[in-house]
Protein backbone atom coordinates (compact mmCIF):
# COMPACT_ATOMS: atom_id res chain seq x y z
CA UNK A 1 0.00 0.00 0.00
CA UNK A 2 1.40 3.43 -1.00
CA UNK A 3 1.81 6.26 1.50
CA UNK A 4 -1.05 8.16 -0.15
CA UNK A 5 -3.37 5.16 0.20
CA UNK A 6 -2.44 4.94 3.88
CA UNK A 7 -3.11 8.67 4.33
CA UNK A 8 -6.41 8.52 2.42
CA UNK A 9 -7.65 5.59 4.51
CA UNK A 10 -6.69 7.40 7.70
CA UNK A 11 -8.42 10.62 6.56
CA UNK A 12 -11.67 8.76 5.82
CA UNK A 13 -11.91 7.73 9.47
CA UNK A 14 -12.26 11.36 10.58
CA UNK A 15 -12.89 13.71 7.63
CA UNK A 16 -12.20 17.36 8.41
CA UNK A 17 -13.71 20.57 7.03
CA UNK A 18 -11.18 22.19 4.69
CA UNK A 19 -11.85 25.77 3.54
CA UNK A 20 -11.01 26.67 -0.07
CA UNK A 21 -10.94 30.43 -0.76
CA UNK A 22 -9.96 29.78 -4.40
CA UNK A 23 -12.90 27.51 -5.21
CA UNK A 24 -13.53 29.09 -8.63
CA UNK A 25 -10.17 27.75 -9.82
CA UNK A 26 -10.81 24.69 -11.97
CA UNK A 27 -8.04 22.52 -10.49
CA UNK A 28 -8.90 23.46 -6.91
CA UNK A 29 -12.59 22.73 -7.41
CA UNK A 30 -11.82 19.38 -9.05
CA UNK A 31 -9.40 18.34 -6.31
CA UNK A 32 -11.77 19.47 -3.55
CA UNK A 33 -14.68 17.67 -5.21
CA UNK A 34 -12.80 14.39 -5.68
CA UNK A 35 -11.56 14.47 -2.07
CA UNK A 36 -15.09 15.19 -0.87
CA UNK A 37 -16.58 12.45 -3.03
CA UNK A 38 -13.97 9.97 -1.77
CA UNK A 39 -14.79 10.92 1.83
CA UNK A 40 -11.34 12.14 2.88
CA UNK A 41 -12.52 15.71 3.64
CA UNK A 42 -15.62 17.92 3.85
CA UNK A 43 -14.89 20.62 1.22
CA UNK A 44 -16.01 24.17 2.05
CA UNK A 45 -15.90 26.65 -0.87
CA UNK A 46 -15.67 30.30 0.21
CA UNK A 47 -16.71 33.14 -2.12
CA UNK A 48 -19.87 34.01 -4.03
CA UNK A 49 -22.25 31.17 -3.22
CA UNK A 50 -24.32 31.35 -6.41
CA UNK A 51 -21.27 31.70 -8.66
CA UNK A 52 -19.54 28.74 -7.01
CA UNK A 53 -22.65 26.56 -7.14
CA UNK A 54 -23.26 27.41 -10.82
CA UNK A 55 -19.62 26.66 -11.69
CA UNK A 56 -19.83 23.32 -9.91
CA UNK A 57 -22.94 22.35 -11.90
CA UNK A 58 -21.44 23.55 -15.20
CA UNK A 59 -18.35 21.44 -14.55
CA UNK A 60 -20.48 18.35 -13.98
CA UNK A 61 -20.12 18.07 -10.21
CA UNK A 62 -22.75 17.09 -7.67
CA UNK A 63 -23.07 20.39 -5.79
CA UNK A 64 -24.27 18.59 -2.66
CA UNK A 65 -20.71 17.36 -2.07
CA UNK A 66 -19.67 20.96 -1.29
CA UNK A 67 -20.55 23.32 1.52
CA UNK A 68 -20.82 26.85 0.07
CA UNK A 69 -20.02 29.89 2.24
CA UNK A 70 -21.01 33.31 0.93
CA UNK A 71 -18.83 36.35 1.67
CA UNK A 72 -21.94 38.55 1.57
CA UNK A 73 -23.77 36.64 4.32
CA UNK A 74 -23.80 39.47 6.89
CA UNK A 75 -25.27 37.39 9.69
CA UNK A 76 -22.51 34.79 9.34
CA UNK A 77 -19.88 37.53 8.98
CA UNK A 78 -20.98 39.09 12.26
CA UNK A 79 -21.04 35.69 13.96
CA UNK A 80 -17.45 35.02 12.85
CA UNK A 81 -16.29 38.46 13.96
CA UNK A 82 -17.78 38.09 17.43
CA UNK A 83 -16.25 34.65 17.87
CA UNK A 84 -12.87 35.86 16.61
CA UNK A 85 -12.54 39.00 18.76
CA UNK A 86 -13.40 36.96 21.85
CA UNK A 87 -10.36 34.73 21.27
CA UNK A 88 -7.28 35.44 23.43
CA UNK A 89 -4.22 37.13 21.89
CA UNK A 90 -5.71 37.98 18.47
CA UNK A 91 -4.01 40.74 16.51
CA UNK A 92 -7.07 42.14 14.70
CA UNK A 93 -9.94 44.09 16.23
CA UNK A 94 -13.55 44.18 15.03
CA UNK A 95 -13.27 47.14 12.61
CA UNK A 96 -10.09 45.89 10.90
CA UNK A 97 -11.48 42.38 10.70
CA UNK A 98 -14.72 43.54 9.08
CA UNK A 99 -12.75 45.20 6.25
CA UNK A 100 -10.72 42.08 5.62
CA UNK A 101 -13.70 39.75 5.31
CA UNK A 102 -14.37 40.94 1.76
CA UNK A 103 -11.39 38.78 0.76
CA UNK A 104 -12.05 35.00 0.49
CA UNK A 105 -8.62 34.05 1.90
CA UNK A 106 -9.11 36.18 5.01
CA UNK A 107 -12.68 34.90 5.40
CA UNK A 108 -11.49 31.27 5.25
CA UNK A 109 -8.70 31.94 7.77
CA UNK A 110 -11.13 33.57 10.21
CA UNK A 111 -13.41 30.54 9.84
CA UNK A 112 -10.46 28.34 10.71
CA UNK A 113 -9.41 30.52 13.65
CA UNK A 114 -12.85 30.06 15.27
CA UNK A 115 -13.03 26.33 14.45
CA UNK A 116 -15.57 26.62 11.64
CA UNK A 117 -12.95 24.90 9.46
CA UNK A 118 -10.01 22.69 10.39
CA UNK A 119 -7.60 23.89 7.67
CA UNK A 120 -7.28 26.50 4.92
CA UNK A 121 -6.02 25.48 1.49
CA UNK A 122 -4.84 28.27 -0.86
CA UNK A 123 -1.94 29.47 -2.98
CA UNK A 124 -2.80 28.47 -6.53
CA UNK A 125 -4.24 31.93 -7.36
CA UNK A 126 -2.65 33.75 -4.43
CA UNK A 127 1.04 34.53 -3.89
CA UNK A 128 2.93 32.72 -1.15
CA UNK A 129 3.67 36.09 0.45
CA UNK A 130 -0.03 36.93 0.70
CA UNK A 131 -0.90 33.52 2.16
CA UNK A 132 1.86 33.78 4.78
CA UNK A 133 1.04 37.39 5.71
CA UNK A 134 -2.69 36.75 6.12
CA UNK A 135 -2.10 33.56 8.09
CA UNK A 136 0.31 35.32 10.46
CA UNK A 137 -2.18 38.14 11.01
CA UNK A 138 -5.29 36.01 11.48
CA UNK A 139 -4.18 32.54 12.64
CA UNK A 140 -0.99 33.61 14.42
CA UNK A 141 2.07 31.62 15.40
CA UNK A 142 2.33 28.69 17.81
CA UNK A 143 3.44 29.69 21.31
CA UNK A 144 7.24 29.73 21.47
CA UNK A 145 7.61 29.64 17.66
CA UNK A 146 8.52 32.87 15.89
CA UNK A 147 9.21 31.77 12.32
CA UNK A 148 7.38 30.01 9.50
CA UNK A 149 8.98 27.00 7.85
CA UNK A 150 8.01 24.09 5.67
CA UNK A 151 8.37 20.34 5.79
CA UNK A 152 8.22 17.65 3.11
CA UNK A 153 7.54 13.93 3.32
CA UNK A 154 9.65 11.77 1.00
CA UNK A 155 8.68 8.25 -0.05
CA UNK A 156 11.97 6.82 -1.29
CA UNK A 157 12.08 3.52 -3.20
CA UNK A 158 14.72 1.06 -1.95
CA UNK A 159 15.31 3.11 1.21
CA UNK A 160 14.92 1.19 4.43
CA UNK A 161 14.99 3.66 7.29
CA UNK A 162 13.42 3.66 10.71
CA UNK A 163 10.01 4.42 9.09
CA UNK A 164 10.44 2.13 6.11
CA UNK A 165 10.67 4.16 2.89
CA UNK A 166 9.48 7.41 4.51
CA UNK A 167 11.66 10.32 5.59
CA UNK A 168 10.63 13.85 6.60
CA UNK A 169 12.87 16.75 5.56
CA UNK A 170 12.88 20.44 6.55
CA UNK A 171 13.24 23.19 5.42
CA UNK A 172 13.50 22.94 1.64
CA UNK A 173 11.18 25.80 0.66
CA UNK A 174 10.78 28.75 3.03
CA UNK A 175 13.55 29.59 5.54
CA UNK A 176 16.51 30.97 3.58
CA UNK A 177 19.24 31.17 6.21
CA UNK A 178 17.73 30.50 9.64
CA UNK A 179 19.51 31.56 12.81
CA UNK A 180 20.23 28.99 15.52
CA UNK A 181 17.00 30.04 17.28
CA UNK A 182 14.98 29.74 14.07
CA UNK A 183 16.58 26.38 13.26
CA UNK A 184 15.56 25.13 16.70
CA UNK A 185 11.99 26.30 16.01
CA UNK A 186 12.00 24.45 12.68
CA UNK A 187 13.07 21.23 14.40
CA UNK A 188 10.38 21.59 17.09
CA UNK A 189 7.70 22.37 14.48
CA UNK A 190 8.79 19.38 12.40
CA UNK A 191 8.44 17.02 15.35
CA UNK A 192 4.94 18.31 16.11
CA UNK A 193 3.94 18.10 12.43
CA UNK A 194 5.00 14.50 11.95
CA UNK A 195 3.52 13.35 15.24
CA UNK A 196 0.19 14.90 14.21
CA UNK A 197 0.33 13.60 10.63
CA UNK A 198 1.53 10.02 11.03
CA UNK A 199 1.62 9.42 14.81
CA UNK A 200 5.39 9.08 14.62
CA UNK A 201 7.65 9.15 17.62
CA UNK A 202 9.80 11.97 16.21
CA UNK A 203 13.56 11.41 16.03
CA UNK A 204 14.94 14.62 14.62
CA UNK A 205 18.52 15.01 13.38
CA UNK A 206 20.09 18.43 12.82
CA UNK A 207 22.26 17.94 9.73
CA UNK A 208 25.73 19.43 9.14
CA UNK A 209 29.02 18.56 7.47
CA UNK A 210 30.21 17.67 10.97
CA UNK A 211 29.27 14.95 13.44
CA UNK A 212 29.52 16.11 17.05
CA UNK A 213 32.53 18.35 16.53
CA UNK A 214 34.38 16.38 13.82
CA UNK A 215 34.39 19.56 11.72
CA UNK A 216 34.67 23.23 12.62
CA UNK A 217 33.17 26.45 11.32
CA UNK A 218 30.32 28.92 11.73
CA UNK A 219 27.74 26.58 10.16
CA UNK A 220 28.67 23.80 12.57
CA UNK A 221 28.45 26.18 15.52
CA UNK A 222 25.00 27.35 14.38
CA UNK A 223 23.64 23.81 14.14
CA UNK A 224 25.14 22.77 17.49
CA UNK A 225 23.64 25.86 19.13
CA UNK A 226 20.26 25.08 17.53
CA UNK A 227 20.30 21.59 19.07
CA UNK A 228 20.97 23.10 22.49
CA UNK A 229 18.15 25.65 22.15
CA UNK A 230 15.67 23.02 20.90
CA UNK A 231 16.49 20.69 23.78
CA UNK A 232 16.03 23.51 26.29
CA UNK A 233 12.70 24.56 24.77
CA UNK A 234 11.29 21.06 24.32
CA UNK A 235 13.12 18.47 26.42
CA UNK A 236 10.25 16.07 25.68
CA UNK A 237 11.38 15.77 22.04
CA UNK A 238 14.24 13.65 20.65
CA UNK A 239 16.26 16.31 18.76
CA UNK A 240 20.00 15.66 18.41
CA UNK A 241 23.09 16.56 16.40
CA UNK A 242 24.98 17.99 14.81
CA UNK A 243 25.15 14.91 12.56
CA UNK A 244 26.36 14.20 9.06
CA UNK A 245 23.62 12.66 6.94
CA UNK A 246 24.95 9.09 7.10
CA UNK A 247 25.38 9.27 10.89
CA UNK A 248 21.76 10.38 11.16
CA UNK A 249 20.13 7.59 9.16
CA UNK A 250 22.58 4.66 9.05
CA UNK A 251 22.91 2.66 12.30
CA UNK A 252 26.27 1.20 11.29
CA UNK A 253 27.76 4.66 10.65
CA UNK A 254 26.25 6.06 13.85
CA UNK A 255 27.84 3.22 15.81
CA UNK A 256 31.28 4.39 14.61
CA UNK A 257 30.83 8.15 14.69
CA UNK A 258 28.47 8.88 17.59
CA UNK A 259 30.21 8.16 20.87
CA UNK A 260 27.27 9.00 23.16
CA UNK A 261 23.80 7.71 23.91
CA UNK A 262 21.35 9.04 21.33
CA UNK A 263 17.74 8.18 20.48
CA UNK A 264 18.26 9.82 17.08
CA UNK A 265 21.65 8.80 15.68
CA UNK A 266 21.27 6.16 12.96
CA UNK A 267 17.48 6.15 13.39
CA UNK A 268 16.38 9.67 12.43
CA UNK A 269 12.99 10.00 10.76
CA UNK A 270 13.23 13.81 10.43
CA UNK A 271 16.20 15.68 8.93
CA UNK A 272 16.69 19.42 9.48
CA UNK A 273 18.87 21.25 6.93
CA UNK A 274 21.10 24.14 8.01
CA UNK A 275 19.83 26.50 5.27
CA UNK A 276 17.78 26.66 2.08
CA UNK A 277 20.78 26.03 -0.19
CA UNK A 278 21.18 22.62 1.39
CA UNK A 279 17.45 21.97 1.59
CA UNK A 280 16.62 22.84 -2.01
CA UNK A 281 19.52 20.81 -3.43
CA UNK A 282 18.81 17.89 -1.09
CA UNK A 283 15.15 17.48 -2.04
CA UNK A 284 15.97 17.62 -5.75
CA UNK A 285 18.74 15.03 -5.31
CA UNK A 286 16.33 12.76 -3.42
CA UNK A 287 13.72 13.15 -6.17
CA UNK A 288 16.11 12.89 -9.13
CA UNK A 289 18.45 10.10 -8.07
CA UNK A 290 16.40 8.44 -5.35
CA UNK A 291 13.27 8.46 -7.57
CA UNK A 292 11.33 9.64 -4.52
CA UNK A 293 7.84 11.04 -4.35
CA UNK A 294 8.02 14.20 -2.25
CA UNK A 295 4.78 15.45 -0.65
CA UNK A 296 4.56 19.07 0.43
CA UNK A 297 5.88 21.56 1.20
CA UNK A 298 3.66 21.75 4.26
CA UNK A 299 3.76 25.07 6.11
CA UNK A 300 4.44 24.86 9.83
CA UNK A 301 4.77 27.23 12.75
CA UNK A 302 1.21 28.58 12.61
CA UNK A 303 -1.34 28.02 15.38
CA UNK A 304 -3.39 25.97 12.90
CA UNK A 305 -2.89 24.24 9.56
CA UNK A 306 -2.50 26.49 6.51
CA UNK A 307 -1.46 25.07 3.12
CA UNK A 308 0.21 27.13 0.39
CA UNK A 309 -0.30 25.10 -2.78
CA UNK A 310 2.21 25.15 -5.65
CA UNK A 311 0.69 27.00 -8.62
CA UNK A 312 1.93 24.45 -11.13
CA UNK A 313 0.75 21.43 -9.14
CA UNK A 314 -1.41 18.85 -10.99
CA UNK A 315 -4.75 17.80 -9.50
CA UNK A 316 -3.33 14.52 -8.12
CA UNK A 317 -0.64 16.40 -6.17
CA UNK A 318 -3.16 18.96 -4.93
CA UNK A 319 -5.38 16.15 -3.64
CA UNK A 320 -2.46 14.60 -1.76
CA UNK A 321 -1.67 17.91 -0.08
CA UNK A 322 -5.34 18.49 0.78
CA UNK A 323 -5.49 15.11 2.53
CA UNK A 324 -2.21 15.79 4.34
CA UNK A 325 -3.55 19.17 5.52
CA UNK A 326 -6.73 17.55 6.82
CA UNK A 327 -4.81 14.82 8.64
CA UNK A 328 -2.46 17.34 10.24
CA UNK A 329 -5.47 19.29 11.47
CA UNK A 330 -7.13 16.16 12.88
CA UNK A 331 -3.85 15.06 14.48
CA UNK A 332 -3.26 18.46 16.05
CA UNK A 333 -6.68 18.27 17.72
CA UNK A 334 -5.94 14.76 18.99
CA UNK A 335 -2.47 15.63 20.34
CA UNK A 336 -3.73 18.86 21.86
Q: Which CATH architecture has domain 3-140+302-335?
A: 3-Layer(aba) Sandwich (3.40)
Q: Are 65 and 72 in contact (CB under 8 A)?
A: no
Q: Does domain 149-294 have CATH number 3.40.50.10750?
A: yes
Strand ranges of the sheet holding 166-170, from the earlier edge strand across to the other edge: 238-243, 203-207, 270-272, 166-170, 149-155, 293-300
Closest listed residue to residue 242, CA positions, set 256, 259, 255, 225: 225
pLDDT of 195 over the 60 cut: yes
The helix or strand, by DSSP H or E, that contains position 36, with its residue range, turns out to be helix 26-38
Q: Are the CB atoms for 208 and 242 separated by under 8 Å? A: yes
Where are the CATH 3.40.50.10950 domain residues in the chain? 3-140+302-335
**Where would I find the H helices in 199-314?**
218-233, 245-249, 251-257, 276-289
pLDDT of residue 90: 80
Sign of CA dihedral 119, 281, 285, 190: negative
| 310 pLDDT more than 80 | no
Cβ–Cβ under 8 Å, residues 66 and 45? yes
Per DSSP, the three-state class of 206 is: strand
Q: How many CA atoms are closer than 13 Å to the CA of 81, on its beta-carbon side? A: 17
* pLDDT tier at 41, thresholds 50, 70, 90: very high
Q: Which of 143-152, 282-291, 326-335 has the lowest average pLDDT? A: 326-335
Least confident of 204-208, 270-274, 275-279, 332-336: 332-336
Of 91, 191, 55, 48, the closest CA to residue 109 belongs to 91
Q: State the average pLDDT over residues 107-125.
A: 95
**pLDDT computed for residue 143 by the predictor:** 87
- The pLDDT, as a whole number, for residue 1 is 67
Please, which pLDDT band fits residue 2 given cuts at 50, 70 and 90? confident
Q: For residue range 204-262, what is the model confidence (pLDDT) as tens digits?
A: 999 999 999 999 999 999 999 999 999 999 999 999 999 999 999 999 999 999 999 99
From-to residues of CATH 3.40.50.10750 in the chain:
149-294
Of residues 308 and 118, more confidently modeled: 118
pLDDT of 336 over the 60 cut: no
Average pLDDT, stretch 122-132?
90
pTM of the complete model: 0.88
Amino acid sequence: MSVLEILNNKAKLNPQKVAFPEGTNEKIMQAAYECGKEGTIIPVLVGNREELKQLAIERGYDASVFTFVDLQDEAYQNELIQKYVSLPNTLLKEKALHRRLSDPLNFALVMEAVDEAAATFAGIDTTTGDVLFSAQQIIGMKPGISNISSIGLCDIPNYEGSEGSLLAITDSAVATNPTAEELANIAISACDTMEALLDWEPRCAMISYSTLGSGQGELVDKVAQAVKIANEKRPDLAIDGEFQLDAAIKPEVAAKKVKKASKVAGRANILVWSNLDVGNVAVKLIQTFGKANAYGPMLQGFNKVVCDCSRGAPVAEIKGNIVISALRAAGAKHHG
